[in-house]
Structure 1
Amino acid sequence: MLSTAAQAMRTGMASLLESAKYSDLTLTCHGREFKEANTRTLSVENFDQATVQRMLSYLYTFDYDSGYIDSDAESSKELVKDREDKHTFTTIEKEVFGLVIDTEESSDIETAHADSNTITIHHILVYAIADYYDIPDLVELAVQNIHHQMYSEFQVEGFVKVVKKIYASTPDGEEKLRGLVHVVTAEQISELIQDDGFMDTISACPDLGAFTANVLRHTAELLQEVRKSKRLTEASFAQVVAGIEETEKKSFSLRLQWVSNADHKVMFLM
């Protein structure tokens, strides 16, 4: 929990972001200006408006809103228009420039209640822009948020969009997000293989070959852990049974000894 003073500072900084007071830099993103003052202007075209707004929110308040914000709708409309203007892009080019929300995601984002996977994608885009502009603390915050979202609110339907977005937003060899999605997929594989959308997309996308291979490896590791746990359980059970049998033997021996002693006492009294 933030202290009262810290909360007041955060609120004050957020109001500066909204009012653009004292700003000395303007960021432009797909036609929208974000005031940061004189004539200095920085154009941001690799990321959508909502992601830029979330980055600026973090720079002012050390946090950002992962749910639906007004810029999400604008980003969605701008993206659709942009793709209509550039309809000659190939599928590969769309993947390369996939740092903005794809068409399927746009329909989700235009609703005021973003689902779990849409929220995860918001965090992924924040991770991408933080990495691009070298904001390490924001990178770590985004990773923590992605981890929390995947584990606390895992959603099978649409999860493949998360996979695609992570692979489109990170370079080969990146481990933080790719490693996380490999493990989560392996842990949830029994549910995911029953989702036709997930299986169809994975099988039809050659660019996700590395993803499939890594998921298989993590699944195999999980199976080995299950087998090891089973062997340990069986061994523990065998030890328990052996202990019970030994206890019963000792108890039976004591009963025999007591009966024998009782017989001697009876004979002595007679």
Structure 2
Amino acid sequence: MESSGPLPFLQELLLSGKYSDLIIQCEGQIFKAHRAIICSQSPFFHAAVNGDFRENREGRIELRDEDADTVKRFLSYMYLQDYDQANGSLTLNKTREAGVVGNPDTDSIQDANTAQPSMVAEDASATEVKEIAHNNLRVYIAADKFGTYPLKKLAKDRLVSWAEKNWRDDGFPDAVREIISSVPPQETELCEDLSNVISKNVQSLVERESVLEVLEEFGVLSTAVLEKLVGRLKFSEEERERLITLCTAMRSLIFGSTVPQ
């Protein structure tokens, strides 16, 4: 019989830090982890703790380029194959560098057995909606750096799902701007997925100045949107006429009247 979730002992190891043999430090927080779990899923950590390096000798890795919440989400996935998209990520065993906060062997704020890390509140505010996109983006970037590609795919899928559900939201343009500006140019799949969301809803989106500004700022995104619209011209004549009008309007709004006919 297949397991429907993470094994209970992995949840226990995640929350208690028992038997840990690896310390991960980020923004003054210390997370107790286990090499067998972390290094087997991440080439980055595998390389860091192997060989004659300080990290191997001390059993400690300091992450200077990440934020602590992203590290918590990364570690949650390592143990539970899931992570909290909202601000209240799964609480991990942690201490402050200046001293212990509570009991590092027993204290936890959220019980992993009752947590629902993949769910997002239906009544999330506009700020929270935008933060969810930001959180998933940070996980996507970290997963790419650490070589944990199943997590990278999960984060990408959640970003696309977020865009499909929240394209009407006021925070959508800023979130798209952050995503496109943060992802390396060679990472085209996420841009393609976002352009697909925009092209499907282009008639409403082009009426918003903030969306047009993003399309004007990122030529790769606006080009992908236009390509998707042109690809739909094979539909009915009525749809064809509507799309031609939209493409012409988009080109004029984004590039101005100087674009060759």
TM-score (norm 2): 0.61
Q: For residues 190 and 228 of structure 1, what CA distance do their matches in structure 2 show?
A: 17
The CA deviation string for residues 89-110 of structure 1, in whole angstroms up to 9 with x for no partner, is xxxxxxxxxxxxxxxxxxxxxx
Hey, what does 2:143 align to over in structure 1? 130
Contact 2:76/2:90 (CA < 8 Å) preserved in 1?
Answer: no
Within 5 A, what are the aligned runs for 1:40-59?
40-59=59-78
Shift of 1:58: 0.3
Identity within the alignment, %: 25
Hey, what does 1:13 align to over in structure 2? 10
The CA deviation string for residues 4-24 of structure 1, in whole angstroms up to 9 with x for no partner, is x65472x43233222221111
Q: For residues 206 and 6 of structure 2, what CA distance do their matches in structure 1 show?
A: 48
Q: For residues 158 and 48 of structure 1, what CA distance do their matches in structure 2 show?
A: 22
**In the alignment, is residue 22 of structure 1 matched against residue 26 of structure 2?**
no
* Runs of at least 5 residues in structure 2 that lack an aligned partner in the other structure: 35-56, 92-123, 241-261
Hey, what does 1:80 align to over in structure 2? none
Shift of 1:226: 4.0
Letter in 2 for 1:50: D
Q: How many residues align?
A: 186
Higher helix share: 1
The CA deviation string for residues 155-190 of structure 1, in whole angstroms up to 9 with x for no partner, is 331112222222233211312211111111122222
Contact 2:130/2:171 (CA < 8 Å) preserved in 1?
Answer: yes
Letter in 2 for 1:213: T
**In the alignment, is residue 213 of structure 1 matched against residue 220 of structure 2?**
no
Change (3 A) 1:169 1:115: same
Within 5 A, what are the aligned runs for 1:28-43?
28-36=25-33, 39-43=58-62
* Runs of at least 5 residues in structure 1 that lack an aligned partner in the other structure: 73-111, 232-270
Hey, what does 1:192 align to over in structure 2? 205
Contact 2:177/2:214 (CA < 8 Å) preserved in 1?
Answer: no
1:144 corresponds to which of 146, 157, 170 = 157
Change (3 A) 1:217 1:6: closer
Letter in 1 for 2:85: S
**In the alignment, is residue 154 of structure 1 matched against residue 154 of structure 2?**
no
**In the alignment, is residue 62 of structure 1 matched against residue 75 of structure 2?**
no
2:131 corresponds to which of 118, 143, 149 = 118
Contact 2:6/2:80 (CA < 8 Å) preserved in 1?
Answer: no
Change (3 A) 1:229 1:12: farther
Contact 2:166/2:172 (CA < 8 Å) preserved in 1?
Answer: no
Q: For residues 230 and 155 of structure 1, what CA distance do their matches in structure 2 show?
A: 23
> In angstroms, what is the RMSD of aligned CA positions?
3.1
Shift of 1:62: 0.7
